[in-house]
Amino acid sequence: MLLRYNYRITPDAAQCTALARAFGCARVVFNDGLRLRQQARAGGEKYVSDADLSKLVITRAKATEERVWLGEVSAVVLQQALADLNTAYRNFFASVTGKRKGRKVAPPRYRSRKDNRQAIRFTRNSRFKVLDNGRLRLPKIGDVPVRWSRTLPSEPSSVTVIRDAAGRYFASFVVTTAEGEALPPVESEVGIDLGLTHFAVLSDGTKVMAPKFLRRAARTLKRRHQELSRKQKGSANRKKAVVKLARAHARVADTRRDWQHKLSTTIVRDNQAIYVEDLCVVGLGRTRLAKSVHDAGWASFTGMLEYKAIRYGRTFGRVDRFFPSTRMCSSCGRVTNKMALNVRAWRCPCGSAHDRDINAAKNILAAGRAESLNACGAQVSPASVPAPREEAGIHPDAACSTRSVEGISVL
């Protein structure tokens, strides 16, 4: 299994200059290649192949006076920039022809030096190396200090050097994990109902309060935005204000990611099978709850659960988003009518009393088990029923705690 391991690096002034030069050269090669293919298409000419494109924008370009400075950086960086362009085109063609599932992919666009994120990639051909003293040796850049938080499980196949909007540098290694990482089997299985008041409600009754990291940082972000708006465009103070704002947003994203990693690891470690609802996050992100939906980060959390389950030998499944988990009785299977969002508990005609979220988590667990056992494709769950529009709303009387976790400790 291929995984990425990210580490913070701290290059000195000379190394920052060399990295900026490498970022610029890779960006120029990418834009030159994109321009040639667009011109060929506009002129009705044949599609420029990958090999011909490499000769035109790298090999021959180095011999010209306008692009002679491309030889100041590693050739692997330039080749990987073209590889990214080729991948972008293939994804676009696969999306247009219907071979690629999911949302439509737009054609590649030009890269700008004003982009918030700059990145270059080194492969084994570039002979990058992790030295015994802990530094990362990059060709034509030097030995860069790395803040190692953990050791790499194996020899990396490539490393990507990233500069984010906050001015921080990271080294992202691609490694192949060793076999035999499966955790000891356990008997418990869990269904997870994701929400906004409670970030996650487990089928065993555990409720995890939503931390709402973006809401908590709203005051700081507002102040940073105000400071930025007062600065004159093009001034040095405005650039400093942009970095301060980016650091504030990065702090929110880092805190959310760390919290989700801890929670997902706990759930995967304690359960043999994990089932979640396949929410349409993109659609919910267009509603009036968009800010809260993006603050929750459901997609990244379920992605963590999925790859960790595969890595550690657990079972992971997604339940159809139109499955009526909230309105179906987990005891008798009866599907009731629509319920208002403020109805947090209800009673089925069969006599069973349900907590709205816990009942949904139990139904998700039952549906996940049924689908995993259904090898022949038979209909084992109720027919698809559209979920009510207010399903992901916020209960006005809900608690606003950001750190309390009922029944589980993840911080």
Taking alpha carbons only, the member of 353, 214, 384, 223 closest to residue 297 is 214
Checking if the pLDDT of 330 tops 70, the result is yes
32, 295, 306, 357: the catalytic one is 357
Overall pTM surpassing 0.75 (yes/no): yes
Of 32, 189, 277, 306, which is the active-site residue? Answer: 277
Query: Band of the pLDDT at 341, cuts 50, 70, 90?
Result: confident
Taking 50 as the threshold, does the pLDDT of residue 144 lie above it? yes
Distance between CA atoms of 395 and 343, rounded to whole angstroms?
Answer: 9
Residues 192 and 207: their CA atoms lie apart, in Å, by 10
Q: Which of 76-80, 279-283, 324-328 has the highest mean pLDDT?
A: 76-80
Tell me what the mean pLDDT of segment 170-183 comes to.
88
Confidence at residue 386, expressed as pLDDT on a 0 to 100 scale: 41
Is-contact 346 354, C-beta < 8 A? yes
Q: Are 410 and 208 in contact, with CB atoms under 8 Å apart? A: yes
Whether residue 403 has pLDDT greater than 70: no
Question: Which pLDDT band holds residue 181 (cuts at 50, 70, 90)?
Answer: confident
- Set 193, 295, 306, 371: catalytic member: 193
pLDDT tens string 98-131: 999 888 999 999 999 989 899 999 999 999 999 9
User: Would you state the structure tokens that stand for residue 366, as one six-digit string?
Assistant: 């039952």
399 has a pLDDT exceeding 60 = no
Longest dimension (CA), the chain: 84
Asked if pLDDT for residue 258 goes beyond 90, the answer is yes
The pLDDT value recorded for residue 410 is 40
Output the pLDDT for position 316.
95
The DSSP bridge partners found for residue 119 are 162
Report pLDDT for 333.
Answer: 83
pLDDT at 152 over 70: yes
Which pLDDT does position 102 carry in this prediction? 82
pLDDT digits (tens, 9 = 90+) for 200-234: 999 999 999 999 999 999 999 999 999 999 999 99
Provide the token pair at 141: 């850049």
Query: Catalytic annotation on 277?
Result: yes
DSSP one-letter code for 55:
I
Question: Does residue 339 carry a pLDDT above 90?
Answer: no
d(C-alpha 411, C-alpha 265), whole Å: 12
**CA–CA distance from 270 to each of 168, 274, 278, 309, 315 (Å)?**
35, 10, 22, 11, 12
Query: Would you state the structure tokens that stand for residue 261, as one six-digit string?
Result: 């990693």
β-sheet with 136-138: strand ranges across: 129-130, 136-138, 142-144
In DSSP terms, 147 is beta-bridged to 8
User: Bigger pLDDT: 339 or 150?
Assistant: 150
Query: Counting every residue, how long is the chain?
Result: 411
Instruction: Kindly list the distances between the CA atom of residue 241 and the CA atoms of 114, 235, 267, in Å, as whole numbers in the listed order.
Output: 15, 10, 40
pLDDT of residue 376: 42
Highest mean pLDDT among 9-13, 97-101, 357-361: 9-13
pLDDT, mean over the chain: 88
Q: Tell me the two tokens of residue 30.
A: 């990418």
Maximum mean pLDDT: which of 1-5, 66-70, 326-330, 334-338: 66-70
What are the start-end ranges of the E strands in 97-135?
A: 118-123, 129-130
Please indicate whether residue 391 is annotated as part of the active site: no
Residue 197: is its pLDDT beyond 70? Answer: yes
